[in-house]
């Protein structure tokens, strides 16, 4: 039940303030009037907290939490429980405080006559445009429970894909950071101590030892300018990458990279087909669905191809023809979409394509991870071993000279 904060005057004319539970503000005022309090101001505390929290909630609600919420709500609606009661039950189950307050506020809005999709739209940091559009279609067709189940499956599939990609990227990042840290320690702390020994011995050093000593000297003498330059370069790269022209150029570069480019294209195609299938199954019109999916592929090059395809579809063309013309989609995708259009089973074909590409992405990621692990270990061994070798060789020569 909503909690209201109020300010007012009691029978003695003194200022009073407090909180009261009530279904809505009107009933809260009536209760306070019976208690002899003249209300001057009353606010829904739950809604105020929700707005405050969700204003800071970017990234604080995980995808799997939204998926769990969606599945629970769908199960309750499928069992015939009214929407408001279902939202109350779901809010009680939420552990994330931001999501809990948001769901409570959504319940209040629905209880006051708002539609679910309009209430969800007030929390764009939690519920995506796809989520809101699907709920709108579900409410319009009376199939909200079925739509929510599809949304839960879609959200879970997207979460699984994102988790796999992050796990695949995390390992090489950790190995690279460890390698850089090890080389930094060797060049900044170890090599300078050995350099002083070589200088006192006044011996001729091999070229590779001179190279290591020179590199160490650069790190020791110029570590601060190098650090500043590195940070500056990083932020310049981010600024360029986030700009409209830079983003497009970067997306083009990524798609042309060996191995990584194919994997990025497969992930984007999987997102495109699964999202489009989910929207069409939910009753969303094709043009509106194409408008939405262009924003979820995660690549501006493919997004532009989808946008151009949408414009051609508006003029009466099929889906497959403009996608094929763009040259950005795999032939098998175009072929299966064309078959789906001819047979009237487009949604099913899109789902099959997405499932197939998800499987291929899993295989590619496992292959890359299996190859990158040994490769990074070998690279680490070669670099660190080379530095150690360049230092140890002169030391052995000094020992031989000393013994003779």
Domain residue ranges of the chain, discontinuous segments joined by +: 3-45, 52-157, 165-404
pLDDT confidence of residue 54? 45
Angstrom CA distances, 251 to 158, 206, 291, 298, 309, stand at 20, 45, 20, 9, 19
- Nearest-5° Cα angle at 147, 143 to 151: 170
pLDDT confidence of residue 375? 85
pLDDT confidence of residue 59? 43
Nearest 10 degrees: Cα torsion 14, 20, 25, 27 = -100
Helix 45-54 crosses helix 97-111 at what angle (to 10 degrees)?
A: 130
pLDDT confidence of residue 239? 92
DSSP string, 318-371: -SHHHHHHHT-S-HHHHHHHHHHHHHT-HHHHHHHHHHHHHHHHHHHHHHHHHH
Helix 244-256 crosses helix 300-314 at what angle (to 10 degrees)?
A: 100
pLDDT confidence of residue 229? 94
pLDDT confidence of residue 47? 56
Say yes or no: do domains 52-157 and 165-404 share a fold.
yes
pLDDT confidence of residue 287? 87
Alpha helices in 282-330 (DSSP H): 286-293, 300-314, 320-326
Beta strands in 212-299 (DSSP E): none
| Residue whose entry in the numeric block shows the structure tokens 């489009």 | 276
What CATH topology corresponds to 52-157?
Receptor-associated Protein (1.20.81)
pLDDT confidence of residue 22? 72
Q: Which CATH superfamily is domain 165-404 in?
A: Type II secretion system (T2SS), domain F (1.20.81.30)
226 touches 183 (CB < 8 A): no
Residue ranges in the chain modelled with pLDDT below 70: 1-3, 21, 23, 45-60, 401-404
């Amino acid at each position: 039940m909503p909690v209201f904060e109020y300010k007012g005057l009691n029978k003695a004319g003194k200022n009073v303030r407090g909180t009261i539970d009530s279904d809505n503000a009107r009933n809260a005022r009536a209760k306070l009037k019976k208690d002899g309090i003249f209300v001057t101001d009353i606010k829904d505390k739950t809604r105020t907290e929700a707005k405050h929290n969700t204003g800071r909630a970017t990234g604080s609600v995980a995808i799997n939490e939204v998926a769990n919420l969606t599945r629970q709500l769908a199960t309750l609606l499928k069992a015939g429980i009214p929407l408001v009661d279902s939202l109350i039950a779901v809010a009680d189950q939420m552990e994330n405080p931001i999501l809990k307050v948001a769901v409570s506020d959504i319940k209040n809005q629905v209880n006051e006559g708002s539609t679910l999709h309009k209430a969800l739209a007030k929390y764009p940091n939690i519920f995506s445009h796809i989520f809101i559009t699907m709920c709108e279609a579900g409410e319009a067709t009376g199939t909200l429970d079925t739509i929510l189940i599809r949304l839960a499956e879609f959200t879970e599939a997207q979460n699984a894909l994102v988790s796999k990609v992050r796990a695949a990227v995390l390992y090489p990042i950790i190995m690279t950071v460890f390698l850089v840290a090890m080389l930094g320690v060797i060049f900044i702390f170890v090599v300078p101590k050995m350099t002083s020994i070589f200088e006192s011995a006044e011996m001729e050093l091999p070229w590779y030892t001179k190279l290591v000593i020179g590199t160490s000297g650069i790190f020791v003498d110029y570590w601060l300018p190098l650090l500043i330059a590195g940070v500056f370069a990083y932020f310049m790269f981010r600024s360029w990458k986030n700009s409209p022209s830079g983003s497009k150029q970067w997306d083009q570069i990524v798609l042309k990279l060996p191995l990584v480019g194919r994997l990025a294209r497969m992930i984007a195609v999987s997102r495109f087909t699964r999202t489009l299938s989910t929207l069409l199954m939910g009753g969303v019109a094709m043009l509106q669905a194409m408008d939405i999916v262009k924003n979820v592929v995660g690549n501006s090059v493919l997004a532009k191809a989808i946008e151009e395809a949408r414009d051609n579809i508006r003029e009466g063309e099929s889906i497959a023809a403009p996608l094929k013309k763009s040259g950005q989609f795999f032939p098998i995708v175009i072929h299966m979409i064309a078959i789906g259009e001819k047979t009237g089973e487009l949604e099913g074909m899109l789902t099959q394509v997405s499932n197939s590409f998800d499987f291929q992405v899993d295989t590619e990621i496992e292959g890359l991870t299996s190859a990158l692990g040994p490769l990074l270990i070998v690279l680490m061994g070669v670099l660190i071993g080379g530095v150690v070798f360049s230092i140890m060789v002169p030391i052995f020569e000094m020992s031989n000279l000393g013994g003779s």
